[in-house]
Amino acid sequence: MSWLAPHSFCRAPLLALALTLPTLARAEDAESRSKGTVDTEHIFGFTEGADIGEKGEKELEDTITGRFGKDGHYAGLAHETAIRYGVVEGFRASIGALSDYHAVSGVPDLADRHALNFSGVTSEFRWQLLERESSPLDLTLSFTPQWQRIDDLSGQRVQSYAFPFELLADVALIPNKMFAAFNLTYAPIFTRNGGTWGQQNPVEFSFAVSAAIADNVFLGAEVRHLTLNDHGFFSGHALFVGPSLFVRLSDAVAVKVAWDAQIPDETTGRLDLANYERQQARLQLAIGF
């Protein structure tokens, strides 16, 4: 391509840019020190940042996750209210309650259902292994044991015990302005349904980018690959992509909205509507106190 030709009029702007970048980097570092650092936990979509807050910090999180779209009519809403507390530096514990609503009719292999239920309890323990102040990235390990009495997909009564492990990482691409995050989740689930116990081993990979478009406002995008691993590896899998918006309303209050749509999987070239939905959405309110 002609614009890559090594003519002098092309080299001059590149040389000027190379000489300018160190000055811009020093200015950006000074600005980040003067403005403080961004808490990355909520600035992405379904993907989460690795920050966990400080020792003694308390937060109330209210999260609604919606799943919509199958053959027939399908809508599922999962609601979680959790209290999070920084026990010591680098370690946070949480406890929460779960409820859900299902509206299902005419969906193959699912019974018609319209019900609102208390669905279980959840807890979470997060260890921050690395921080950006002393390393190139934030890195956190999360363990989230849960008990549920309602199946996420069908809305049926079950006894379910889940033990998700997550590795959360994020890095500042531009200090305080643009961040990238990666999540890896392995979530063994043991479910008793109709007197029989079964096991699933879902795995999820996600990658997200979020950039500041105004003070305290971040706009992002993510890609997520989900696998069910029921009766064998890759028994069900889906690829989701979508945008996110994070707004910090005050020092103590923040809200996040995310929406992901399932696109044809890279291996099958089609949607998996038996195990997943066409669309997933999330609304989250975080209040520090």
Bridge partners of residue 133, in order along the sequence? none
Rounded distance, CA 199 to CA 181, Å?
29
Predicted local distance difference test score (pLDDT) of residue 232: 59
At residue 13, the pLDDT reads 38
pLDDT digits (tens, 9 = 90+) for 33-83: 334 589 999 999 999 999 999 999 999 999 999 999 999 999 999 999 999
Task: Indicate the Cα dihedral angle 213, 65, 79, 225, nearest 10°.
Answer: -110
pLDDT for residue 132: 86
Q: What is the pLDDT of residue 36?
A: 53
Q: What is the DSSP string of 91-131?
A: EEEEEEEEEEEEEEES-TTS--EEEEEEEEEEEEEEEEEE-
Q: How far apart are CA 33 and CA 38, in angstroms?
A: 11
> Quick one: pLDDT band at residue 94, thresholds 50, 70, 90?
very high
Task: For residue 12, give the DSSP letter.
Answer: H
Q: For the segment 261-276, what is each residue's pLDDT rounded down to a tens digit?
A: 999 977 778 899 988 9
Average pLDDT on 19-26 reads: 41
Give pTM, 2 decimals: 0.84
Burial classification of residue 1, based on how many CB atoms lie within 10 Å of its CB (0-12 exposed, 13-18 middle, 19 or more buried)? exposed
60-73 pLDDT per residue, tens? 999 999 999 999 99
Residue 31: predicted pLDDT: 41
User: For 168-225, how does the pLDDT look when each residue is reduced to its tens digit (9 = 90+)?
Assistant: 999 999 999 999 999 999 999 999 987 889 898 999 999 999 999 999 999 999 999 9
Supply the mean pLDDT for the chain.
87
- Residue 4 is given by DSSP the state G
Q: Is the distance from CB of 258 to CB of 45 less than 8 angstroms?
A: yes
Question: Quick one: average pLDDT of 103-107?
Answer: 95
